[in-house]
Structure 1
Amino acid sequence: MKNGKSELLSIQGAGGMIEPGSLSMTLGQTDVRVSRLGIGAMVWGDMSTAPRWNPARNAYGPTSTADDQRAALDVSLSAGINLVDTAAMYGKGASERRVGELTAGRDVVVATKFPFGPFSRASSLPATLDGSLARLRRTTIDLYQVHYPVRWMSIPTLMNLMADAVEAGKIRAVGVSNYSAEQMRTAHAELARRGQVLASNQVQYSLLHRDPETDGVLDACRELGVTLIAYMPLASGALTGKYSAATRPAGWRRYSRPFRSENLANLVDLLGEVGDRHDRSPSQVALRWLIQQDGVLPIPGAKNTAQAAQNAGALSFTLDDADVEALSWATEADR
């Protein structure tokens, strides 16, 4: 793995305050301070209890052990990464339980999501939140997010329940996930009526999935001072350089959009070329491209030490403007 280090160039992001010389930022306009890179913990925990169709069980191959996940967290914390993202839905609470076990007594910013299941109602949010607090072994959750919008859960109702939880001291910041620009504005306005702010919107964003740039979400985040948390920042592993059209991953990933992209082979070659100039791997270059977008915070998954160390390497170098432009131009068709 390419691990050379250099001084990080800090960026002023509209979706969070980034101080000169710092590897951290505020989460939106809150006082929650997070690293410029997080950890996605979707596959942490005992996934044998998850439904067979659950992505946490099927999409990314066999899960790792508790020791592997503890080591991944240790490596990440040592590199200055302090944000761990999970959800009540992942493995029917298995991921939250593991995150709670591994982060107990440690200085970690924990983010999780409501609801627990796909047919939940807005009225179940308070009880679901209490369940997450118990599984996470915490009295307060740093970032509580609505996992996805559904027509039977009113956004104003959800935001008022979130605001109640903030006032009760059960959560520090309110976020959403998979919200459109319009849905974000509705959530933001409802929270503002309660004197609170929308901290983040977690959406899919990578070099192979640049929809947030064209659907208005990234612009709305910057306008409202909301951090865009980028999930699947390595496009399900397509940007790691491990796979090709001839060598696809096992599981559901092999059928996903990134692995069907006609541009994948050329992009991986370009990531390799840029990486060679900086003594970095393709995945580190792909993550760094996101980090250098104003107000964007990627959360790649890390099942073990090797993956965690690989991800952390994205924090210790800076892409040249020409590199950023070349990568952006090469994936213009994915906008």
Structure 2
Amino acid sequence: MSSDWMPDASRYEQMAYRRSGHSGLQLPQITLGLWQNFGGVDVYETQRAMIRRAFDRGVTHFDLANNYGPPPGSAEENFGRILDQDLRAHRDELIISTKAGYRMWPGPYGEWGSRKYLISSLDQSLKRMGLDYVDIFYSHRVDPDTPLYETMSALDQVVRQGKALYVGISSYSAEMTRKAQAILKELGTPCVIHQPSYSMLNRWVEEEGLLDTLSELGIGCIAFSPMAQGLLTNKYLNGVPENSRAAQGGSFQSSMLTDDNISRVKALNDIAQRRGQTLAQMAIAWVLRRPEITSALIGARHVEQLDNSLDALKNLDFSTEELVEIDKYATDGGLNLWKRSSDSAVDA
């Protein structure tokens, strides 16, 4: 049943959009991700309020994956319900992304990068969301045992089938990105976007040359975890709150809360306060300072937190002195959980 909610008429005046690499696709500077807090165990009306608020503020891009929940698949199901109630009439104003790569169902065809898994997974995702197509479909991670050509040709196939408009990759190294793009260009469906983790405490995309590679190849970049799963907020400045992600376990590991990391977070928080921003806002603005970054991918627990993050767009400028001072503390914090121990795929 649809609602009588009407989106804010001024929504496109509130957001700036950036082109994804050399493609025609433009994304809002901030994207809302449904990795956390949008599962079947979470409060549905809170999810619905956040998505409506995001769209009211010009966020047109919503990022999902097959396994987001818990339970796996429930984030897509909930998003489909919200589309039905509020946003289905605005489908052509939305960029909806999903991914496949991590374990989704038992057996040998339930994860990684085979043609069997990727296409089956996308079919399931479309059914859960009630969609004919997604705007972006990603290979969520490199499969070390499946030929890269098979994974990339599956991405090409779903575009040719009309199930996706664009394709992307996530957490691929610079070398693997170069190989993947060469295959996709040969097939006629170039990669338009890469989704890596990137934050002030996780700068591997700079250090390992990924951003330079994306710029050279004309591929856009959407950075996930710009707030380091909440570490780059005021949440952990005075201990570990009971309802925090660190207290709950899972993707946020307690080993991230080292004395060194907390010390640097406090120093970065001082800089943010001098800028008139929260630490979360400065973390988002800092990621967006790079011209290679198309969008910062954020999560949110409730509408107020979402609004706080979107307010980062009110001050995206850094002085040279601020950037130099930030660099003193913005060093590796051991947060890159997605770096493959063997970031390679078989060639044939």
> Could you tell me the TM-score, scaled by structure 2's length?
0.79
Separation in structure 2 between the aligned mates of residue 212 and residue 67 of structure 1, nearest angstrom: 36
Does 2:34 align with 1:41?
Answer: yes
Pick aligned residue for 1:96 from 36, 52, 76: 76
Please tell me the residue identity of whatever aligns with 1:314. A
Structure 2 unaligned segments of length 5 or more: list them. Answer: 1-13, 105-109, 335-348
- Aligned twin of 1:265: 263
Please tell me the residue identity of whatever aligns with 1:260. T
Decide which moves more: 181-190 or 123-132. Answer: 123-132
Separation in structure 1 between the aligned mates of residue 139 and residue 67 of structure 2, nearest angstrom: 11
Please tell me the residue identity of whatever aligns with 1:298. A
**1:114 and 1:147 in contact (8 A); partners too:** yes
Separation in structure 2 between the aligned mates of residue 241 and residue 151 of structure 1, nearest angstrom: 38
Give, in angstroms, the shift of residue 86 of structure 1. 0.8
- Aligned twin of 1:105: 89
Q: 1:261 to 1:95 in 2, by over 3 A?
A: farther
**1:112 and 1:145 in contact (8 A); partners too:** yes
**2:15 and 2:28 in contact (8 A); partners too:** no
1:270-281 counterparts in 2 under 5 A? 270-271=268-269, 273-281=270-278
- Aligned twin of 2:10: none
- Aligned twin of 2:280: 283
Q: 1:256 to 1:223 in 2, by over 3 A?
A: farther
Please tell me the residue identity of whatever aligns with 1:327. I
Q: 1:302 to 1:210 in 2, by over 3 A?
A: same
Does 2:323 align with 1:330?
Answer: no
SS of the residue 2:49 aligns to: helix
Give, in angstroms, the shift of residue 82 of structure 1. 1.5
**How far does the alpha carbon of each residue in 1:276-307 deviate from its partner, in whole angstroms, 9 at most, with x for none?**
33322110011100011122222111131012
Q: 1:250 to 1:39 in 2, by over 3 A?
A: same
**How far does the alpha carbon of each residue in 1:203-252 deviate from its partner, in whole angstroms, 9 at most, with x for none?**
11100111111122222111111122211111111111121373364122
**How far does the alpha carbon of each residue in 1:69-128 deviate from its partner, in whole angstroms, 9 at most, with x for none?**
111112222222211111001132111111222233333211110146264333232222
Percent of aligned positions that are identical:
24
Give, in angstroms, the shift of residue 22 of structure 1. 7.1
- Aligned twin of 2:155: 162
Please tell me the residue identity of whatever aligns with 1:41. L
Separation in structure 2 between the aligned mates of residue 83 and residue 250 of structure 1, nearest angstrom: 29
Q: 1:150 to 1:323 in 2, by over 3 A?
A: same
Pick aligned residue for 1:68 from 33, 46, 55: 46
SS of the residue 2:65 aligns to: coil
RMSD between aligned residues: 2.3
- Aligned twin of 1:149: 142
Does 2:122 align with 1:122?
Answer: no
Pick aligned residue for 1:81 from 16, 37, 59: 59
**How far does the alpha carbon of each residue in 1:24-63 deviate from its partner, in whole angstroms, 9 at most, with x for none?**
0122322222101111101244445xxxxxxxxxxxxxx3
- Aligned twin of 1:213: 206
Separation in structure 1 between the aligned mates of residue 264 and residue 155 of structure 2, nearest angstrom: 44
Please tell me the residue identity of whatever aligns with 2:181. H
Give, in angstroms, the shift of residue 192 of structure 1. 0.6
SS of the residue 1:299 aligns to: strand
Separation in structure 2 between the aligned mates of residue 211 and residue 258 of structure 1, nearest angstrom: 16
Give, in angstroms, the shift of residue 334 of structure 1. 5.1
- Aligned twin of 1:16: none
SS of the residue 1:310 aligns to: helix
Please tell me the residue identity of whatever aligns with 2:285. R
- Aligned twin of 2:8: none
Q: 1:246 to 1:303 in 2, by over 3 A?
A: closer
**2:34 and 2:75 in contact (8 A); partners too:** yes
Separation in structure 2 between the aligned mates of residue 110 and residue 257 of structure 1, nearest angstrom: 33
**1:222 and 1:295 in contact (8 A); partners too:** yes
Separation in structure 1 between the aligned mates of residue 79 and residue 120 of structure 2, nearest angstrom: 19
Separation in structure 2 between the aligned mates of residue 276 and residue 293 of structure 1, nearest angstrom: 22
Structure 1 ranges of 4+ moved more than 4 A: none
Does 2:309 align with 1:311?
Answer: yes
**1:45 and 1:97 in contact (8 A); partners too:** no
Please tell me the residue identity of whatever aligns with 1:96. E
SS of the residue 1:250 aligns to: helix
**1:175 and 1:198 in contact (8 A); partners too:** yes
Q: 1:250 to 1:256 in 2, by over 3 A?
A: closer
**1:114 and 1:125 in contact (8 A); partners too:** yes
Q: 1:293 to 1:256 in 2, by over 3 A?
A: farther
Q: 1:152 to 1:293 in 2, by over 3 A?
A: same
